[in-house]
Structure 1
Amino acid sequence: MDKSEFIQIRRFIVKLGKMLHKYGTPAFRLEAYLHEVALYLGVHASFLSTPTSLTFVIWSDKHEDEYNHAARVDPGDLDMNLLSLTDELAIQLLEGQLTLSEADKRLDEISMMPSPYGKLLTGLAFLGATSAFAMLMGASLREVMWSGLLGLVAYFWTLWAQYSKRVNLMLEPVTSFVAGLLACAISYYFAPGINIPLMVLSSVIILVPGLALTMGLAELSSRNLMSGTARIMDAIMQLFKLYFGAFLGISVGFSIFGANEFVPEPSLPYWATWVAVFLLCFALVAIFRTRVKHIPWALLSAFIAYGASTWSSAYLDFGLGTFVGAFALGVYANLFTRIANAPSTIVAMHGLIVLVPGSKTYIGLNSFISGQDFVQAEHIGQEVFLIFMSLVAGLIFANVVMPTKKAL
């Protein structure tokens, strides 16, 4: 291998790694995938990925050339469209359909692509996701409607954070603060007796880091200790910021508009929960930027995960039904990889979102600090712990029964 070829290869690997990290790929999947690409390209490599850094060590067969690269990166956001396109590009390269220079140029084009759904559809997705979550939490019809409108306010802050560093730094507390304040105003002027904490939680549910906590535990279980620890601590701090903002917003709202006397209302019928699962997963299509051809697979993953978890909960106690849901989801996601030749993450994330206990972590934090429960929840701390462990164990067992075809 001559010097120029080695330089071209290591540039491509570094660029590919940074892009996959940007799209929210877990450390153990990112490192394994880059290792596969490096072996195909004829070089040896070692990688270290954390939520805020990437380290590459690449060398030729006889150590004629060696290269070290360390980069400070921002934690990635889930983007299933660009992840899928990048994976397809790597497949074309590995199959000899593209040269290395062509693949390198195509990577630059992919990185510049905007969301295929635009800002309007993404805003509507926030409205749909927050409303659907309120339905899953047993909210009344008017609480579902107001939660959706507050979700639009959360989207406004999320959109603004893309253009302002200062807003991005305080995104979680300011979003939940405004949601808490507006919920108190809504209660005073339009809908007395509503469940204000439940509405606030529903409106910021997209920002609740339940998925990040699960990914962190999965990384720890795969012995990626630095990345897993960093991701879990980052998720815990996000959760604290969200709760503090909501607590402050509701306190200020009560001092301005007066305390709200919660009056329970009839919840929506049971069949509405299945409608909510569909609406939530369909909204996540735009939020996760899932490609059109993968939408049916993504929707089905949510029903498989939720259905398996709900069915098994009748026979298993203490949240262990989540283990069955995660196991069924893992088998389905790995089967999807074999059929569609695409990353299992594309469909797994949609199913995981209806299983992760991020909302219950928030509820447990509220119970611990205020001593009050805004939804019926007993032994919330033990249940959250068991659900997290069940999720990780279910995915591990699924990988044994149905091994994944590719690292992503």
Structure 2
Amino acid sequence: MGGKHPAPSCDELLSFMAEYGRSYIASGGPTSRLEEALAGLGLKLDVPTDVFATPTGIFVSCHDQTGANRTTLSRIKDSGINLGKLCWLEGIFEDVMTGKLSVQHADKILRSRHVQRSPYKLWQMVMASFLSGFALSVTGFSLFWPALASGFISMATWWVSGPGLRSRVTSSIFRDFMGAVVTLGLASVFQLWMAAPFEALSIGGLVILVPGLTLTTAIAELADQNLVSGTAKLMQAVLTLLALGLAYMLFQDLSEALHLAAAPSAGPRPQALAVSAFGMMVSAACWSVIFRVPPRSLPWATLTGMLGWFILKMFASSQYLAAASFLAALAVGFVSLAFSTRYKVPSQVFSVPGIIAMLPGMLALTSLRSFAAGNQDHGLELGFRVAATAGSIVFGLFTARIPFAFKPRIKLFSAFRARH
């Protein structure tokens, strides 16, 4: 590579690509970007390479010097969103592409489990989960003690659905089901002590569990013609919603069997703009920590989240269902790509926290609850709104790419004019 490192053998290249791809997808990286990057590396090394990636595995095939076809398959048992590791991985890949690292050395780094560490300590992430639940509840319902309970429930739910059971339970769907049981159970217990709406207590935990981001990512993969990956993520989102709906119906049936009074329900209360903005800022910052955004990018990720929320707030009327999400996602996508170019990190570092406020996860859960209650018409209406919102977010993010897609051509045209 550039005369600095010995050319890797086909087996060494396959080993690096398989480990890099497995780590990349497990950290929440898009499969389309991964396939393009690995194919580009094979082209640079003059090794014909085929890459096929899904959320559950990556298949890499290349031809060695004798023309023989060599293949490898790497399975992915568990995945999540780790934006800090995603930045680290893309930094390693860039060093390989520019010749700063050999493929062999990069492979050793990837397989060393003690090289890349989380940018945040465990207690910081626990506090972030607590504050996110507290901020969502206190800004939505203006009740201090229920908001504290919501923060505690959010913290417990994050622990159960994440680090608490990850080493013991490999199925993320079952962990989400257990998280829903914890959320609903603790909310019911807290209701015995305080007269508060059920939503004010459970909102923090439910927001952690609802698969709004998975649903939106699935539509993005389908729109990018990655049908296998998009379908797999779509089914994961549907199964997660079914798990949450099942937990809700189990608690509902248990309450009826024990002749318990139904939990009082109430919608969010309108708040002053400054209060809502402060709550959104805290929530966006906390979610950035939970997603392990690098600390130096944390202020800009929070700012991107605030921008998306503000535009969504401007079009808060139901008659602007598609326009609100589309314009907010367009702004988030454009700013994320600008920050990505400026700070040399993946755009997901900014766009993922940026779209949290507009994800239709809670709407999807409400739709499922309507079907469970026998209200099919209302469930279908909410289901359409979920699809419209998720689609608007995806196409807003896609539209934001257009100016950046023309950037290399503009530079090339400018260089041509300078020479002539």
TM (norm. structure 1) is 0.88
Pair 4,386 (structure 1): closer, same or farther in 2 beyond 3 Å:
closer
Distance 1:255 1:182 in 2: 19
Pair 100,151 (structure 1): closer, same or farther in 2 beyond 3 Å:
same
Matched, 1:326 2:329: yes
> For residue 25 of structure 1, what is the aligned residue in structure 2?
29
Distance 2:329 2:290 in 1: 22
Distance 1:118 1:137 in 2: 29
Distance 2:82 2:7 in 1: 35
Deviations 1:328-361, CA, capped at 9 Å, x for gaps? 1111111122111211111111112122111111
Deviation at 1:78, TM superposition (A): 0.8
Asked if the contact 1:147–1:203 (Cα under 8 Å) also holds between the matched residues in 2, the reply is yes
Distance 1:362 1:229 in 2: 19
Pair 37,355 (structure 1): closer, same or farther in 2 beyond 3 Å:
farther
Deviation at 1:40, TM superposition (A): 2.4
Pair 136,354 (structure 1): closer, same or farther in 2 beyond 3 Å:
farther
Distance 1:240 1:65 in 2: 46
Distance 2:171 2:37 in 1: 34
Deviation at 1:380, TM superposition (A): 2.7
Deviation at 1:15, TM superposition (A): 1.6
> For residue 219 of structure 1, what is the aligned residue in structure 2?
221
Matched, 1:367 2:370: yes
Higher mean Cα deviation, 217-226 or 312-321?
Answer: 312-321
Matched, 1:103 2:106: yes
Deviation at 1:9, TM superposition (A): 2.2
Unaligned 5+ runs, structure 1: none
- What does residue range 5-154 of structure 1 map to in structure 2 within 5 Å? 5-60=9-64, 64-109=67-112, 113-135=116-138, 137-138=140-141, 140-154=143-157
> For residue 196 of structure 1, what is the aligned residue in structure 2?
198
1:351 aligns with one of 349, 354, 362: 354
Distance 1:323 1:114 in 2: 36
Secondary structure, counterpart of 1:318 in structure 2? helix
Pair 338,110 (structure 1): closer, same or farther in 2 beyond 3 Å:
farther
Deviation at 1:215, TM superposition (A): 0.5
Distance 2:105 2:321 in 1: 53
> For residue 240 of structure 1, what is the aligned residue in structure 2?
242
> For residue 317 of structure 1, what is the aligned residue in structure 2?
320
Distance 1:244 1:266 in 2: 24
Equivalent AA in structure 2 for residue 290 of structure 1: V
Percent identity (aligned): 22
Pair 166,299 (structure 1): closer, same or farther in 2 beyond 3 Å:
closer
Pair 118,69 (structure 1): closer, same or farther in 2 beyond 3 Å:
same
Distance 1:218 1:397 in 2: 12
Asked if the contact 2:77–2:170 (Cα under 8 Å) also holds between the matched residues in 1, the reply is no
1:163 aligns with one of 164, 167, 170: 167
Pair 102,404 (structure 1): closer, same or farther in 2 beyond 3 Å:
farther
Asked if the contact 1:122–1:287 (Cα under 8 Å) also holds between the matched residues in 2, the reply is yes
Distance 1:14 1:265 in 2: 48
Deviations 1:267-308, CA, capped at 9 Å, x for gaps? 362332212211111111221111111112211110121122
Equivalent AA in structure 2 for residue 92 of structure 1: D
Equivalent AA in structure 1 for residue 359 of structure 2: V
> For residue 413 of structure 2, what is the aligned residue in structure 1?
none
1:259 aligns with one of 256, 261, 268: 261
Higher mean Cα deviation, 43-52 or 175-184?
Answer: 175-184
Higher mean Cα deviation, 65-74 or 276-285?
Answer: 65-74
Secondary structure, counterpart of 2:100 in structure 1? coil
Higher mean Cα deviation, 311-320 or 360-369?
Answer: 311-320
Q: How many residue pairs were aligned?
A: 401
Higher mean Cα deviation, 69-78 or 330-339?
Answer: 69-78
Secondary structure, counterpart of 2:51 in structure 1? strand
Secondary structure, counterpart of 2:337 in structure 1? helix
Asked if the contact 1:208–1:239 (Cα under 8 Å) also holds between the matched residues in 2, the reply is yes
> For residue 402 of structure 1, what is the aligned residue in structure 2?
404
1:308 aligns with one of 308, 311, 328: 311
Secondary structure, counterpart of 1:161 in structure 2? coil
Equivalent AA in structure 2 for residue 337 of structure 1: S
Secondary structure, counterpart of 1:133 in structure 2? helix
Asked if the contact 1:173–1:246 (Cα under 8 Å) also holds between the matched residues in 2, the reply is no
Unaligned 5+ runs, structure 2: 409-420
Distance 2:234 2:267 in 1: 36
Matched, 1:279 2:285: no
Deviation at 1:260, TM superposition (A): 4.0
Distance 1:227 1:75 in 2: 15
Asked if the contact 1:209–1:239 (Cα under 8 Å) also holds between the matched residues in 2, the reply is yes
Distance 2:379 2:283 in 1: 22
> For residue 386 of structure 2, what is the aligned residue in structure 1?
384
Higher mean Cα deviation, 62-71 or 251-260?
Answer: 251-260
Matched, 1:335 2:341: no
Distance 2:369 2:297 in 1: 37
> For residue 229 of structure 1, what is the aligned residue in structure 2?
231
